[in-house]
Structure formats: structure tokens, C-alpha cells
A and B are shown apart, each in its own frame.
Chain A
Amino acid sequence: MRYQAIIGGQQRLVEVTPRGSSYRVAIHKGPEDRGHPRALEVDAIHLGAHGMSLLVDGRSVRCDVEPGKEGQVAVLVGDEVQTLEILDERRLRLRRAAGKFTLEGPQRVDAPMPGKVVRVLVKQGDEVQEGQGLVVVEAMKMENELKSPKAGVVKELHAQEGQAVEAGARLAVVA
């Protein structure tokens, strides 16, 4: 079976072939079958709802596979979470049709964690530089300055001083 995966900002072709009780996993350098892939012999068993025990070329690794939305998967390897996306060709086509996310056009600045808006550093209509502070959110007694992702104009400003915000709340839009 062939899958397309995005990990570390790169798209790669991954081929999985069952071999008896284990699998051969070929990881290609890019999205196409070119050159020599990295080939792994993997024996996999499940532990509970998300856990897997893998023997990768003899190396024993505990993994937890946590599926997210639209092909996103968080895999805990040892004690570190690796995030990636994995899609078969049909899902990949659907995703492409939805358009790609880039820094062109309006950018949202969302609260990265629940907290309280302690200061708003700009006004609607202000011109801002990339990296300029827009809003300061306090959580866990620490103040965190949220910066503009791009140079542009503050199109929308939703943050208000003193306001409690949830993670993901839209604070501003820079266009």
C-alpha cells in the first residue's frame, strides 16, 4: 500500500508491505518512487487502544498512535511526540482541492493557550511589521507577547484588555 506522508515539512512516499507477521516499510526521500528508499523491517503488535510495541530492525520501541483530523497523526515514540500527516491518494486529492495554507493573504492571530489578555499593543488599522507584538496574554503567571506573523495592517482586532480567552480564540487578523 502506498501512502503520502508529510513530516518535518517534507512530503514523502511511504510503502507498507505485509510480510508474514511483520511489515516492510519503505520511506522515500520525496513524493515519488525515485532512488533508494530507507527500508525498515517492522514487527508491530497493539497494546490497548492507542499503544503499539514495535521491533524496528530489532530495536524495541513503544509507540502511541493518536489520530487527529484530516490525516494528522501524533505518534509518541519513547517519550517524544512526533506529528505528521498521512494520506492515501484519494484523501490527498481532496486536500489539494481545499487549497493550501500559506502566508499570503490575511493571517489570524489566535490565543495559543487559555489565558487573560493583559495588554493590547495595537489598534485596528495600525501598520505592523513581521514579529511586532500585537497582544499580551497572561497564563500561569507569565506574560506572553503574541507577534504579528507578517508585515501588514491590523484588519481585525478582537482582543480586549482584561478579557479571558480560550485556546484558539481569534485575537486579531493581519492582512
Chain B
Amino acid sequence: MAIRKVLIANRGEIAVRVARTCREMGIRSVAVYSDADRAALHVRFCDEAVHIGPPPSRESYLVIEKVLAAAKQTGADAIHPGYGFLSENAKFARACSEAGVTFIGPPPEAMDEMGEKTRARRRASEAGVPVVPGLKEPIPEGAEEQAKQSALEIGYPIMIKAAAGGGGKGMRLVSDPREFDSGLATARREALSAFGDGRVYIEKAVSRPHHVEIQVFADQHGSCIYLGERECSVQRRHQKVIEETPSPIVTADLRARMGEVAVKAALAVKYVGAGTCEFLVDGNTRSFYFLEMNTRLQVEHPVTEWCTGADLVRWQIEVAQGARLPWTQEDVARQVRGHSIEARLYAEDPARNFLPSPGRIFELRLAEGPGVRNDCGVESGSEVPRYYDPMIGKLAVWAQTREQAIARLRRALSETVVKGITTNTRYLRGILDLEEFRRGDYDTGLLAAAAGRLLPKKGDGEELTPEQEIALAAAAIWQLEQDQRTALQPAATAATRDSAWSQAGRLDALRRNG
């Protein structure tokens, strides 16, 4: 059945991303927004928009009734959940189907099986897929002491993870039994705040691991293919920062083996739509362990789109309409080419321990040129609210080789200017310059190990950096010109510096035009 109007139950860059494909497909789009997002970009990218409540996501974007009421009110026949928020909530998928609205995602039964990490791991384990040692169930309230005991048996360091989670939220590394209680409390609190579900579980933290994930796609007719892997080991506190495909450590043979396992896992739960199987890969032995399946579109899907040429959102919508997959596994092999890398732009200050930096962006300049793609949820004048994720956009590039892709991303980052808030662009360039990254020889410990080399140099002391010299020269020239104008126009002395500066600009323009 044809989808004519899609409600996008999300915000920020992913809502914009989905709205773009809707427009290309001639499908009307409906935005939802909280009080904090009335002026947000995604509202303007959609054909219609519905207000769904106050800023905290638990009172707006996470409220199933409000989202469904918005769909009913606008006559939307389908809902795209994006990632995060309600995207992996089986209850929401069921509520959609009960309301007669197509949920663009897997069937709720598949989400039940795979959406929760503990069940997914049990399921995978039953199917003979190797998994990382750990407790298979969330820690029940009141059973903290038993869990602490189990953690000792599994062996430290351990990881405490949100059962409903993903994206590194509600996830804590605990390396010492004495930190167990506080780590558990923090993980639960963050899980509750991010997903409305405070349940967490424990697993052993694996040393020198790579985080490699396989993109799978299934239709309603029992076909399932994999669209290659994404290397996501560049993480800070388990939050992905840079992703690339192909992975520097994945050979054709390993890709085929992982891909087949991922497809098997998807078929086992009668999966439909876009899904991602996450694996931990041992950097030395190349053994891989199933971690979880994300039953949604991933943040980093653009690198897969770059290298396959497929529009995954279009595929999602077509599959939801009942269409067959456009490609076989052999077609994928024929289509895939080149190398793609994505960098996530975060509103945070690496120099101040990655302190979030919400606020107004008064100017945004995005990179252009060959092989560059921006997925941005903001523009000049946008307010980055303090209530949501600090990721404001993604910059993804494609080039024929990995080396060229790194050079291209570096070039594109140097064109990216965000004024008004602090972002991590400089930090990202620092990562691209790391010897380990350039060699493709890195694991999930990269950013922690390189932290000392990645922190911006203060430029204190005798020698100024070339940028500091230029800044000083620009400021001195600007000051001199302003002082000269002030001297020529005594009446203007009371004016503020800023307006004097604008005045200077006007004088200059007059002079140029005259």
C-alpha cells in the first residue's frame, strides 16, 4: 500500500534527513516539535508540523500518545521514528499498528527479540553466534548485591549498559569493584533520562576491541541482504565520533562471514527493514562477538549510502510499502566502491572536558565541494537547546581510497565554521591527524590513549602559533582603524565598539562604492 504522508517522530538532523527523502519521493512529511524546537530546522523541512509538548523529551518526543495523536490529526499514514527516542520501542510500534498507522521499521515481535540487548544476546547465543561473557538479564531492583557478586565472577573491568539503550548513553565502564555501586546508580539514572527505562545489565569489557557493525536490510518477503560494514571504533566514552567504511581490519572473507551471521540473526527474528548488527572484533585474532542488533536506522548510515549509492531511507519506506529489496547480495558486491568517512559534529568544548555547549549559532558555514555531504539539524541563527543530544550534524565524505577520504574530510572540516557555540571540529581534525588513525591501526581505546595529543594546545609561553599571530595582527589592524575613525569623528566616541565597527563597515562600503 502506498504511503502518502509520513510523520517523523524525531528532531534535529535525522528528521531533516528523512524529510529530504520524503520530498524526493513525493510523500508529504509531518514534523513534531516541543516548545524548545518551534524554530528548529526540521520544522521548516517538513510540510506540516504539530506541537507535542514541553522541552523535556519525556514529556514530548517520548510520549507515544502525543505522537500518535499528531499522526491522527494530520492524517499521516506512516511514522518514521528516526533513531533514539521511540525508534526501538516495541510498544510504540504496536501502538502504531493498533492506530492503523504504518511503523517504518521492523515488526514489534522482532523488536522484542532484538531491541533489548539482553534478549538479543540470548537469542544470538542460542543460534550459535559467539557473544561476550556477561549477565544475560537486566539487574532487578534490590538485586544489586547479587549483581556485584556476578560482576566479580565475570571479572573486572566490566561494562554496565542500558537494556533499552544504544549510542553510548547509560553505559559505564567500571574497572574496580569499589566503583560498582556508584557506576550502577549513574548508569540507571542516565538510562532513565535518555530512554525512559532505567534497566541495565553487565558484561565483561573486552580488551583491544574493534566495534564493527553490519548493515542489514530485509523485506517483507523473506529476503535479507547485508550492505557491508562500518568501523565505529573511534569512540569517546562509548559515544561514536568518527565512522568509516570499509573497515581497515575487515577482509573480504571476514566481511562475508560477519555478513552471513548478521543476515542469519535478522532472519531468525523475521526482521524487516533497516537493521544493524554490532560486533566486537578482536584486533589480533579477528574473532567477532555479536553485541546487539539496532532495530533502526543508524546515525552513521551515510557512509553506507556513500559507498553503495543506496538511499536507505527510501529503501525503508519502499519496504514498508511492501516492495521487494531492489538488490540481491551479488548486486551489492557490484555496487560498492570507494571509501567513506563520517565525523559527528558535537556542540561541546573538548578544551573544557567536553562540556556541552548549547546556545545560539549566529553563523554556520558548511563544507562544500567534491565528495562532501552534510547532514545538519541546524543553520545560522539556530538555537541548540540544552534538552537534547549535543550532536548537531554529521559531515560525511567519499573518495576513491581511504587516504584520499581522510584528506577530503580534513579539508571539509577546515571549511566548517560554527560561530556562537563551541564545537569539536578541531578535535575531529586532530583525530584525522593521529598516526594510528592514518595507518588504520586503531581500536576502541584510540581516543582515550591519544587524549593527551588531541587536547588543543594552549599556545602559552614565548612562541605564538601562526593562527595566534594572525589573530593578533587582525585585531591590531581593526583596533587601529577604529581608533583612527574615532579620532576623525569625535561625536561617535560614545558609540559602542560594535556599532562603531558596523559604522566602519558602512564607511568602507561607501568608499568602495563611491
Contacts and interface: CB of A to CB of B under 8 A. Distances in A.
B343 interface: no
B111 interface: no
A78 B480 CA distance: 22
Contacts of B194: 141
A144 B477 contact: no
B502 A49 contact: yes
A72 B476 CA distance: 12
Interface in B337-369: 347-348, 352-359
B501 A84 contact: no
B472 interface: yes
A95 interface: no
Interface in A57-105: 61, 63-67, 73, 75-82, 84, 86, 88
A60 B362 CA distance: 24
B194 to A, nearest CB: 5
A163 B332 CA distance: 53
Given A8-B459, A112-B355, A14 B414 contact: no
Contact of A139 (B386, B413, B416, B461): B386
Nearest to B422: A81
Nearest to A46: B508
B478 A141 contact: no
Interface in B368-420: 386-390, 413-417, 419
A16 B480 contact: yes
A56 interface: yes
Contacts of A63: 470-471, 474
B505 A46 contact: yes
A8 B461 contact: yes
- The B interface is mostly helix, strand or loop, or mixed, namely helix
B472 A79 contact: no
Interface residues of B, number: 57
A113 B356 contact: yes
A10 B472 contact: no
A40 B469 contact: yes
Contacts of A64: 419
B492 interface: no
A80 B467 contact: yes
B462 interface: yes
A114 interface: yes
- Which interface residue of B387, B413, B480 has the most chain A CB atoms within 10 A? B480
Given A40-B469, A82-B467, A140-B387, A49 B505 contact: yes
A86 B502 CA distance: 19
Contact of A79 (B414, B464, B474, B483): B414
B356 A139 contact: yes
Contact of A56 (B387, B470, B498): B470
Contacts of B425: 79
- The A interface is mostly helix, strand or loop, or mixed, namely strand
Interface in A16-73: 16, 18, 23, 25, 27, 29, 38, 40, 42, 44, 46, 48-50, 52, 54, 56, 61, 63-67, 73
Contacts of A48: 505
Contact of A67 (B461, B462, B497, B508): B497
A27 B419 contact: no
B223 interface: no
A149 interface: no
A25 B478 CA distance: 12
A50 B386 contact: no
A7 B387 contact: no
B88 interface: no
B477 A112 contact: no
A46 B502 CA distance: 11
A54 B473 contact: yes
Contact of B190 (A73, A84, A143): A143
A25 B473 contact: yes
Contacts of B386: 113-115, 139-140
B119 to A, nearest CB: 25
A121 to B, nearest CB: 12
Contact of A7 (B468, B477, B498, B502): B468
Nearest to A144: B355
Interface string B137-178: 000000000000000000000000000000001000000000
16 contacts: A1-B479, A3-B479, A8-B459, A23-B473, A38-B464, A44-B477, A49-B505, A52-B478, A65-B501, A78-B414, A81-B419, A113-B359, A140-B358, A141-B389, A142-B356, A144-B353
Interface of B: 169, 186, 189-190, 193-194, 347-348, 352-359, 386-390, 413-417, 419, 425-426, 458-462, 464, 467-480, 483, 497-498, 501-502, 504-505, 508
